[in-house]
Amino acid sequence: MLACFVTTVRGLEQLLAEEITALGAIDIVAVNAGLEFKADLDSVMRINLHSRLASRVMIRLVFSGYRFEEDIYALAMKVRWDKWFHIGNSIKVATNAIACPLKSLDFVTLKVKDAICDYFVEKVDARPNVDKAEPDMRIYTFLTKDTATIYLDTSGDTLFKRGYRKLKLEAPIRENLAFGLIKLSGWTPDKPFYDPMCGSGTLVVEAISYGLNIAPGLNRNFAFEKFIDFDNAKFDEMKAQAKAAINYEQKLQIFASDINRTAVEIARQNFQQIKLDHYVHFSHGDFVKKTAPAGGGVLVTNPPYGVRLDELDRLAEFYPLLGSTLKKEFAGWDCYFFTADLRMPKLMRLKPSRKTPLFNGALECRLFKFEMVSGSNRKD
């Protein structure tokens, strides 16, 4: 069994723990924005292929206390690097830290890189190339006040890069965060799903992929495919099983709209390219002038947050209209709004039944739930 670490969005740790347990992980310990766990390499491959919530899966190679940079160099020299990858594989080393007393993390990164190169020089009289843009192998060093851990990445590109997004608008939410919102909403494929501020369609494509049981990693490659002991036949079998499990016959009621016509067109083109456009009903227009697309269902959306003062003022005018539309048109719907603007419920004059704290990058947000029942939820 391998000691591993998986990263995720802050606030989704428990959901991720449940997900990777089903994929073969054991001895799971939750930490901030991630989980420590144990798994064999087959389960690590399976988590990379199937996890909708993970950002990156890493194997812990070595762990020790330290005082100086040379201690970390010595620690890296203890790793049997040739057990994991060939001299022909390019590498990239990065370092992160919390309360680290050392002066330069860049210098730590350099020492770990030197150790890897020196190890291979001793073994085969050659050193791997460094590629900071698209390396074959990513090595991460994590430092606390007095401990150093070195990880080998198994994912390659971050796992929220599903491989389907061809066109996008500025600053979409990440795909694993989008799915986390859907999972927290309790939506199931037998219910209508609506994103009235869809942007380029991240929430909607995640809903469809979940509804049809499309493994999120089917259209991309992973770093573990370049490991020395990688079993290509076994992974091909995993992918074949994942493809066979897709249910293209699943009936879905998915609706998406946006006030920005360009956003709707980009979303439509994205869905056409991945051949999922016939599962979603697109429309264009202002949400406050729209009617519900079905008699009941789940609405999940990521409205604009507002940063500048003029944007905040416009949102303060928009929220009462939004609340009015929900009360008039969306009885029978569970409505979820993901925002960093904590004024939203008060200005909408609606009381949320749930407030889930989550982070969008470093930005603290809330997922507000409003259960829309005729004549209720009005805040006195």
DSSP-assigned letter for residue 48 = H
CATH 2.60.40.10 fits 175-213+250-371, yes or no: no
pLDDT at 166: 62
pLDDT at 312: 81
Report in angstroms the alpha-carbon separations of 232 from 46, 219, 364.
Answer: 13, 16, 41
Measured CA to CA, the distance from residue 85 to residue 136 in angstroms comes to 9
pLDDT at 15: 98
Q: Where in the chain is the domain with CATH 3.30.2130.30?
A: 2-153
2-153 folds as VC0802-like (3.30.2130)
Query: Is the CB of residue 53 less than 8 Å from the CB of residue 176?
Result: yes
Q: Where in the chain is the domain with CATH 3.40.50.150?
A: 175-213+250-371
Beta strands across the sheet bearing 137-143: 26-31, 34-39, 2-8, 54-65, 147-153, 137-143, 91-97
Measured CA to CA, the distance from residue 189 to residue 182 in angstroms comes to 11
pLDDT at 269: 87
Q: What is the pTM of this model?
A: 0.94
Q: Chunked in runs of 10, what are the mean pLDDT values of the chain (380 residues)?
A: 97 98 98 96 98 98 96 98 96 96 96 97 96 96 96 97 69 89 98 94 95 95 97 97 96 96 88 91 94 96 75 88 96 96 95 96 95 64
Query: Is the CB of residue 90 less than 8 Å from the CB of residue 135?
Result: yes
Query: Which SS3 state, helix, strand or coil, does residue 38 take?
Result: strand
